[in-house]
Amino acid sequence: MSYDAIVVGYGPAGATMANLLGQRGWQVAVVERSESVHPYPRAITADHEAMRVFQHIGLAEEIAQGTVPHPGTDFVGADGLPIKHYNPAPAPHLLGWEPNFMFHQPELERVLRRGVDRFPHVEVMLGRSCRAVQQDEDGVLVQVDDDVLSAKYLVACDGASSGVRRDLAAPIDDLEFDEWWVVVDTHLSGDAELPERITQYCRPSRPGTYIVGPGALRRWEIKILPGEDPEEFRAPEKARSLLSQFVDVSKVEIQRLAVYRFHALVVDRWRYGRIFLMGDAAHQMPPFLGQGMCAGIRDAINLAWKLDGVERQGYGTSLLDTYGQERKPHVRAVVETTKSFGIIIGKTDPVEAARRDDVLRTQPQLTSVRQKSIPGLDTGLIALDGSDPGVAAGELFPQPRTSGGVLLDDLIGPGFWLVALRDDVVDQELRQLWAELRGRVVHVTEEMDPDRLVRSWSDKFDAVAVIVRPDRYVFGAARDADQLRDLVADLVHRLKA
């Protein structure tokens, strides 16, 4: 059978991609070698941008029911005293959701898969393996066990050991972080007198992370020290002894024990003709910022609207090159930040650890908001030409909750937006040009923006209008009507090229 797209891998990134394409009416095959959802949590925290994507596919409310807000993070030095704090961003929330939240991955994946079930034109093949892939200028052929499927595109979301990436011989940039850690998931079985916030134990004797999950889920990530054999830590008794350095083990029940090699890797190329790499197949990062799954969700929304634009809206195929152009530097920046957190936490030399503690304690102890560590876009399909509109380009556009309680994305709908902050900036000629993109013109009212999230954001750039992409990243902001016409003309030209 022939499909519009074949998605290999049915984890969070693959399931999100299947929902996004199914929502757009694409004929999709999803190939997954496992028979069911992985039973244990792996990712445990995500952010408001990921939840906004889940909102895009109509699943955010259901997913949110199984989450709890991120409680904030304390870094504790070698002497057991605080050295740094990260606190949740206060309301009103910029994207309409908790900036960071904790969740149970198996349940989140089940919700995503139930979402895919809404689309009869998306066929899910569980317990099937992708054996080989070949392509030409017209499409791809994929051998799935003994069958051969054809499609216009293939999206490889098949994990860190991606077979598609291996067959492509895709070069990987090693960002030089390679450490062994033990991950222990537990359920509370008594009063363990644990912190209410996530805690980074920056102990040179044994660095570790304590994570407060939803319900009774509590996780520890504990560093294996240089010279220790990672294989020894797979034994339950060894793990229990290790865990006892952080908690009274009689008060917790171990649910999962895993030994991981934390990497910092990003593929050099994200597109190979009609084949795209996504999620863990394209990047791997240490867990210290909780951004691994979020990066895969960003990959999915970035690519989905562009594929649909090329196939259904008549956009030029060069738009597909911007997927890797945008995602690669963004992921690299997040990985570098995550790696810097790992270096802070994981110092094992007592002298270096004491120096670190002194430096962090002498810094002003302002409230640090975790989400400020996540950058915007700095290249690709954004209006970065060295002029003033570029200062807003690449940022995420705010999502207020209207006075009626409706989130802005749901009120306005999909596609490109031209957000007018002044009534006189959009004339009939500009409307006709904008109509070429089937975009929407949006006039922001007080009822739509009761907390002035959009107004406050746009005031930073003296913007009278903002062009917002379908993934809600800003193409550019204009300070007057002439600038706006130039931006719209530039966008139309680049999309039609």
Strands 275-277, 271-272: parallel, antiparallel or unpaired by DSSP?
Answer: antiparallel
Q: What is the mean pLDDT of residues 265-277?
A: 97
What per-residue confidence (pLDDT) applies to 90? 87
Burial 214-233 (b: 16+ CB within 10 A, else e): eeebbbbbbbbeeeeeeeeb
What per-residue confidence (pLDDT) applies to 464? 95
Residues 6+ apart with CB under 8 A from 462: 479
The predicted-structure confidence for 407-425, as pLDDT tens digits, reads as follows: 999 999 999 999 999 988 9
What per-residue confidence (pLDDT) applies to 425? 93
**Helix (H) and strand (E) counts in the chain:** 13, 24
Q: Where are the domains of the chain?
A: 2-67+98-173+266-345, 174-263, 381-496
Mean of per-residue pLDDT scores for the chain: 94
Q: Are 198 and 211 in contact (CB under 8 A)?
A: yes
What per-residue confidence (pLDDT) applies to 89? 85
DSSP letter for 317, please.
G
Token readout for 146 is 């003994």
Q: Is the dihedral of CA 479, 485, 490, 496 positive or negative?
A: positive
pLDDT over 60 at 151, yes or no: yes
The predicted-structure confidence for 278-291, as pLDDT tens digits, reads as follows: 999 999 999 999 99
The answer to which of 81-85, 107-111, 305-309 has the lowest mean pLDDT is 81-85
Specify the pTM.
0.96
Residues 6+ apart with CB under 8 A from 9: 31, 32, 156, 157, 158, 159, 162, 279, 281
pLDDT over 70 at 315, yes or no: yes
- Position of tokens 């350095």? 245
pLDDT over 50 at 444, yes or no: yes
CATH 3.40.50.12280: does it fit domain 174-263? no
What DSSP line would sit under 401-412, residue for residue? Answer: BPTTS-BHHHHH
Residues 6+ apart with CB under 8 A from 319: 306, 309, 310, 381, 494, 495
Question: How would you list the strands of the sheet with 440-443, edge to edge?
Answer: 440-443, 417-420, 465-468, 474-478
What per-residue confidence (pLDDT) applies to 373? 80
Question: How would you list the strands of the sheet with 100-102, edge to edge?
Answer: 45-47, 100-102, 68-69
For the chain, first and last CA: distance in Å? Answer: 32
Instruction: Give the confidence band of 390 by pLDDT, cuts at 50, 70, 90.
Output: low
How far apart are alpha carbons 280 and 288 in whole angstroms?
16
pLDDT over 50 at 389, yes or no: no
What per-residue confidence (pLDDT) applies to 368? 55
Grouping H, G, I as helix, E, B as strand and the rest as coil, residue 210 is: strand
The predicted-structure confidence for 38-71, as pLDDT tens digits, reads as follows: 998 899 999 999 999 999 999 999 999 999 999 9
CATH 3.40.30.120: does it fit domain 381-496? yes
Strands (E), 412-483: 417-420, 440-443, 465-468, 474-478
pLDDT over 60 at 365, yes or no: no
Token readout for 367 is 């409230």
Nearest Cα to 69, choosing from 41, 44, 88? 88
Question: How far is Cα of residue 326 from the mean position of the Cα atoms in its chain?
Answer: 13
- The CATH superfamily label for domain 2-67+98-173+266-345 reads FAD/NAD(P)-binding domain (3.50.50.60)
Which amino acid makes up residue 334? V
Nearest Cα to 19, choosing from 323, 308, 284? 308
The predicted-structure confidence for 227-258, as pLDDT tens digits, reads as follows: 999 999 999 899 899 999 999 999 999 999 99
Q: What is the mean pLDDT of residues 455-467?
A: 94
Strands (E), 11-60: 28-32, 45-47
Q: What is the mean pLDDT of residues 351-371?
A: 80
How far apart are alpha carbons 273 and 281 in whole angstroms?
16
How far apart are alpha carbons 376 and 374 in whole angstroms?
7
How far apart are alpha carbons 131 and 460 in whole angstroms?
52
pLDDT over 50 at 124, yes or no: yes
Instruction: Give the confidence band of 370 by pLDDT, cuts at 50, 70, 90.
Output: low
